[in-house]
Chains A and B, each alone.
Chain A
Amino acid sequence: MKLILQRDIFVNRWRVVATIGFNQNRPELIAILALTKELPDGLVSGRDVSSRLLAGRPESVGDRLLSVCRMMKLIESVPERKGLWSLTPLGERAMMKKEVPVPQRGEFELWTIDDPLFPDAIVRTRATELEHQSSDENKNVPPSEGIPHLLRRCVNQVIAPPVRFEGEANEICVFEISEKCRASDRVSCRVKLEIDESGGWAIFSTMDRTFSTTPELPTLAEALSQVGWRGSETVKSVSFRYLSDSDRRSGSKDESLGNVHLRELGDFETGILKDVRLVPKIQSDADEWAEWRLRDKIKGYVWPEDYENMVRAAREVSVKQGWQFDPLLPSQSDLARKIADNSQAQRWLLVPLEWGTLRRENDIVRHTILVISGRATSPDEVERILDECGRASNRVFILLPENENAKRLGFSNEIQRTCVIRRVRQPPDTWVWVEPGKWIGRRWVRSEASDSVKNKKSEAGKERSSGSWLDLQDLGFDDVIQKLRRAFWKNAREELDVQGNWIAVKQK
């Protein structure tokens, strides 16, 4: 379960002249900070630096390096102890992180958000390029103004701006912001606060990019109690008939909370409690719901053992989702009967029951499989095709063209009398014939029609049936295999075993 709260925020952009520190690896300065820490009273002098680290260079060199540290606000002078320096909190931090904020002064664009979710206020720091061209000289520029309190309070703070584009620092130290700044832009965006059991974060989008930050947030339980959601209501009993299909599938739904207020974080315009768990209210709801889930799972021929697995899974889900009722589920044949006559789902349930004798032995198919492109076939061709390869086939896959023509289904019906057929949409004119003895991949290629024949055809509105088989070796066999693989064996428990140009069907 997750609490999602949203509100609009404003991102303000300011042009400022500032001194901002960007972290750099400066081991010599880190060593000086460490030296300060280990000296008595934590006080360091130029002489200490020169003698302990610089092998006796003049004291002025040590003093100079200390003044560099002082410029970075890593050390501060000690009142009444002239020439001695102690670590500042920033210095302590630099020592821990082994990086010092090296100050740069220049014009920066600072993005700020005045919102409790962003306690640092500065969400982005971008150094502007040195500008020199006179092209903007005639442009009207807005008047400069005093820096807002929001920025003033960032001075001497270490900030991790959540908005970072390529090459921008993930941590900065704001040393100084000059008194005059210029507001350059103000855009609104929506911030989404997500709180779940593992914690929480705020997400917002600007400049076509999404950024996140992890402010200090209450726990999910605290937040739920603040928004008035009763702690016990983590599960909701519902009637089956009032559920949408997606709720039935997931077993959960989102609850709208309307306007929400969180202490210290303020008001949110919308609050949603995501994934509130749903359970059936009464036994009949449980039965109907479980049966609905079974039917929802039927996407192809269902072998009896598959059906058993489906039933088992449905029960497991109900247990997992904390149903109080054990759902009563129909057998495969009962379910087939319950389903409307001649529907596809009914056939998928019934045919495997009737076709049980055709099962594979030792995971190897012992029967010829014929894969025919529906488009390539027409009633005129049926006899010849069946004579040639279909009579011995127990299973036929028909690859139907995109614009399936009902007329051609006559052909599949013909075959269906002796075979189980499966129809899949495939590019036209693809046939593959797979036979245990020979196992040859072939393709039916229609012969070119002469102009006179074409004219005749257009007059008669009939297709030509002449053509020939070609070995698939040079005719995109791999492509066909890939398509078949995707079409047939995505979820099935069998797969195409392809060796060179040979195909077999194997059980997984």
Chain B
Amino acid sequence: MAAPEPRRLFFANLPSDGGHLEIAVRSELREFRNFLATAKSYLKDETASRVGWIPERGGRDKGAPMWLELVPCPDRPNEQGTTFREFLSNDTEFVYECAPPSISNEKRERRTYFREEHKIKVLRRNQSRRQLLIERAPEFTELALKPNTYALDKQIEAIDRLRSEPSVAHIPLLRLLQHRMHADSLWPIVPKIVEPNWEVLTDATRDGTLEQRDFVRKALATPDFAFLEGPPGSGKTTAICELILQVVKLGFRVLLSASTHVAVDNVLERVADGRHNEIVAVRIDRRDADETPLCVQGLRLEKFVKSERVRLREFHRSNVQPTPAEEIFLNALESATDSEDMIERLILDSANLVAGTTIGILQHPDLKSARRSKHPEPPFDMLIVDEASKTTFQEFLVPALWAKRWVLVGDPRQLSPYADEDSLGPNIRALVCEKWKREACIAVDEASSGKNKRALMSVCNPAQIEFIRTQAEYVSPDLRIETLDNEVNENGITRALDLAVASVIIGGKQDFDRLESLIPLDFTNLYGDISNPWFRRLAAWQNHTNADPGDEKVWEAEIAWRLGRNYELRRLPKSEQPPYWGQIKKLLPYDDHEKVLEGIGTVSRLGLPSVLESLMNGVGERAGAKFVTALSHGLRKNQCASRDIYAERSQKLCFQHRMHPDISSTPRRLFYANEALRDSTGISMRRAWSCNCFGDFRSVWIDVNGKTDKNNRNEKEAEVLVRQLNHFLEWTKLVPHPGSEKRPWEVAILTFYRGQETLIREKLNRSGLTITGYGAYAHRAQDEDTATIKLCTVDRFQGHEADLVLLSFVQTGRVGFLASPNRLNVALTRARYQLVLIGSRGYFADVKRCNSSALNELSKLPVNTPNEQ
């Protein structure tokens, strides 16, 4: 077939097949762009981050600057840490004072938050204490922040660039979107290369080194992609370090990105340690300097610029007879206007390793200022994305356009990208444009949930009434729907009885007001245009029944969270998977069922998988797609493609060097089918210790028969956990860490729930430990830290490790978050010496109650009776 004429000149100028490539790219990326644009528009128009505050010091005088501590808003007690980080970010120059939103008009009030008169300048920040110094005391009880759409903007821009202005170097990226039938023959064979002189992977006898070397060889030789899969502690970082050193030796430049700071810093710590002179590394980082590890601080761009300026000035000032060239250089150094820019440019141009997190790298000065491509060709020869299993395709594209080759490293058995409901929700909502219809669906679904939910819904016309009735029949034929109409009057006793047992009562706004006395008190949800007194009635009822006032269901949010959870649980056996799809289907409007379901599939395809998984297995076929692409079906061999391009470019690591064998055995069996996470030789010896705080086993249960409250807190588990921690801390006073460098023991306190994290933090804050940061503590004895303690959720701890992990399960009667095998894998594979599982072991062992074979299996680990002393 003759190639069509490309619309964009960039495609016309690609070496061959530009017309086909353009068509493929346009159609494949259009959905991604729409997805991001919808999410951005929602963020900009309908959201605001809100926090509460308590005065810290100052601010006695009205209008005087004051320090205040940020706290969660009363209606959001488990506010995410990211919200606070947004407020405390160096990029935040202003906050807006605001009153808490009332139940019915949050959206409208949001628009009034950002008025000029409510704007307050931020003068200083203290991240570790969650404190802000602002120019005056707020007059309202909460602070709001304008939503930051920068990351989305950059993703949209990257997609637009790839759709409009790809360079020749981007052809492999484009090929991911092309019909595999055409594209497969175009993927070059990865050539064999001469054995490099190994810098880090010098010991070939060490378990896993040969696999690591194979990966480095493939990554050096590949003209496009290379992949590294490795379970926790398998030496992915080491392999990355070796790769960077080899690439730099060839005179190339590397862009390193990972989803967590620790992954980036670990690599930098090892390659920019002064032993490898040829590495000039720059860290792009917007955190406070004191949050950055000491060894990496000097690499932060701002600090690098300052120190380099001083160094160069001293050097040139000491030159008594400068030549004209040296004089030009010195003059620029002395110039107030040019100096910083020049040094920054000098560093950015000369650095051969630029590193930052997936989000942080967006702060790179070139990326921030570039509206369009300023580089004649991608400035980096290789992009390495660590933790690529947590990075979506669209996130990956932003740095990917800056490079000519791409190396993805990760473990698809660990956590997937964060299922951002702010992105999924608006895109799902766009599938059903009519608000009343969405409300009708959720009202009917709630009423049919069997949780004694009853809804009042105001409607405008008979067509809407008809829709609700049919939707009810479609969802649950037994559901009682009652309509308020002209025939019903205040004396209609019979109808009053009907209304009393109705699940959904529908009528016009005036009908509700007219027949107020007939409507039962115990309705739980209000939808449509309903006057304020009804909301007050609802609040009174909720107060009376102790119901959660925040439990307002929104159609798209209900689908979004189920979609996210369903994706999380995709690896579970069918019998263990909760019926999320069935629940989603019940929420769909009967008259547009197929189309909306297809749209939800698209949203799931675009918003949930990681780039690593996408290229391994694909994200699924685009609705209406006429062909199979690498992105939709992966690079592996499948029924549509005979060549296994993924296998040619990928390497798996099988040995782990982190955990004591007792700790690794369960996750190896549960999540890696005994194929990976094999214990390296000598790991048992390296993890020997004398601590008997937790018995003889390195992976033990402390069985706590606690109770979970509605905020996912388990008081008893928290108490036991803190006791166990103190017990261990006492031991650390006596026994120093066995490492050659003198360093404290590292303890991680992990939990699956933010509510429990908050509860434990409250306890730790009162426990006499030194607070070193938000959720970070140190235990001191004789002026030395014997242990550092980090408290966070399992999700945020991916990429980290610790000597001792205390894991609080919280749940005692349902599986909840714990069902996700990826999350459980992360939770169980962080500990080097000791893993302590704190939870209701009895519940997890009960096969009838706990429908999770992984948790059932986990419950078989030995038990250590808590030491009550």
Contact = CB atoms under 8 A, between A and B. Distances in A.
B325 A132 contact: no
B325 A107 contact: no
27 contacts: A17-B165, A25-B338, A28-B345, A30-B328, A31-B328, A31-B332, A34-B323, A35-B325, A38-B325, A52-B325, A57-B350, A58-B280, A64-B349, A104-B374, A104-B376, A107-B8, A107-B165, A130-B157, A130-B165, A130-B371, A131-B160, A132-B33, A132-B156, A136-B7, A137-B26, A178-B9, A180-B9
Given A68-B349, A105-B376, A179-B13, A54 B251 contact: no
B397 to A, nearest CB: 13
Contacts of A103: 376
A31 B30 contact: no
Interface centre among B26, B349, B352, B371 (most CB of A within 10 A): B349
Interface in A332-370: none
Contacts of B280: 57-58, 60-61, 64
A34 B5 contact: no
Given A17-B10, A104-B373, A130-B371, A27 B350 contact: no
A38 B376 contact: no
A27 B6 contact: no
A15 B323 contact: no
B167 A105 contact: yes
A175 interface: yes
Interface in B288-311: 311
Nearest to A104: B374
Interface string B347-385: 001101000000000000000000111111100000000
B349 A144 contact: no
B708 interface: no
A180 B13 contact: yes
Given A178-B9, A180-B12, A106 B325 contact: no
A34 B325 contact: yes
A445 interface: no
A17 B280 CA distance: 33
B352 A64 contact: yes
Contacts of B332: 27-28, 31
B9 A28 contact: no
Contact of B325 (A53, A71, A181): A53
A485 to B, nearest CB: 49
Interface in B245-288: 248, 251, 253, 277-278, 280
A104 B161 CA distance: 14
B329 A58 contact: no
A406 interface: no
Contacts of B180: none
Contacts of A104: 372-376
Contacts of A17: 9-10, 13, 165
A179 B160 CA distance: 23
Contact of A64 (B10, B156, B314, B350): B350
Given A31-B332, A65-B350, A106-B165, A182 B9 contact: yes
A404 B363 CA distance: 77
A76 interface: no
A19 B376 contact: yes
Q: Which 4 residue pairs across A and B have the least CB separation, nearest first?
A: A27-B332, A55-B315, A132-B160, A34-B325
Contacts of B573: none
A144 B10 CA distance: 11
B665 interface: no
A26 interface: yes
Nearest to B37: A132
Given A64-B350, A107-B8, 17 more contacts: A19-B376, A27-B328, A33-B325, A35-B323, A52-B325, A53-B329, A55-B311, A56-B315, A58-B280, A104-B374, A107-B10, A107-B165, A130-B157, A134-B26, A136-B7, A141-B7, A180-B12
A388 to B, nearest CB: 65
Contact of A27 (B315, B324, B338, B372): B338
Interface string A47-88: 000001111111011011100100100000000000000000
Contacts of B251: 60, 63
A32 interface: yes
A127 interface: yes
Nearest to A138: B7
B349 A27 contact: no
Nearest to B312: A55
B346 interface: yes
Interface centre among A31, A35, A58 (most CB of B within 10 A): A31
Interface in B318-350: 323-326, 328-329, 331-332, 335, 338, 342, 345-346, 349-350
A131 B167 CA distance: 15
A311 interface: no
Interface in A90-134: 102-107, 127, 129-132, 134
Contacts of A15: 9
Contacts of B658: none
Interface residues of B, number: 54
A212 B33 CA distance: 44
Contact of A26 (B33, B278, B345, B374): B345
Interface of A: 15-17, 19, 25-28, 30-35, 37-38, 52-58, 60-61, 63-65, 68, 71, 102-107, 127, 129-132, 134, 136-137, 141, 143-144, 175-176, 178-182
Contacts of B314: 55
A182 B6 CA distance: 11
Contact of B5 (A19, A38, A52, A144): A144
Contacts of B12: 144, 180, 182
Contacts of B371: 130
A144 B325 contact: no
Contacts of B165: 17, 106-107, 130
A28 B328 CA distance: 8
A276 to B, nearest CB: 52
Interface in B225-258: 248, 251, 253
B164 interface: yes
B652 interface: no
Contact of B342 (A27, A38, A57, A132): A27
A117 B106 CA distance: 67
Contacts of A52: 323, 325-326
Given A27-B328, A60-B280, A106-B372, A130 B377 contact: no
B208 to A, nearest CB: 30
Nearest to A15: B9
Nearest to A139: B7
B349 A38 contact: no
B163 interface: yes
A178 B13 contact: yes
Interface string B157-171: 101110111010000
B279 to A, nearest CB: 9
A175 B375 CA distance: 13
Given A16-B9, A134-B30, A180-B12, A105 B323 contact: no
A54 B9 CA distance: 41
Nearest to A176: B376
Nearest to A20: B376
B164 A131 contact: yes
Interface centre among A16, A28, A57, A131 (most CB of B within 10 A): A28
A391 B51 CA distance: 90
A61 B316 CA distance: 18
B6 A144 contact: yes
A56 B332 CA distance: 18
Nearest to B377: A105
B250 to A, nearest CB: 11
Interface string B520-557: 00000000000000000000000000000000000000
B19 to A, nearest CB: 10
Contacts of B346: 28, 54, 65
Interface string B49-79: 0000000000000000000000000000000
Nearest to B277: A58
Nearest to B323: A38
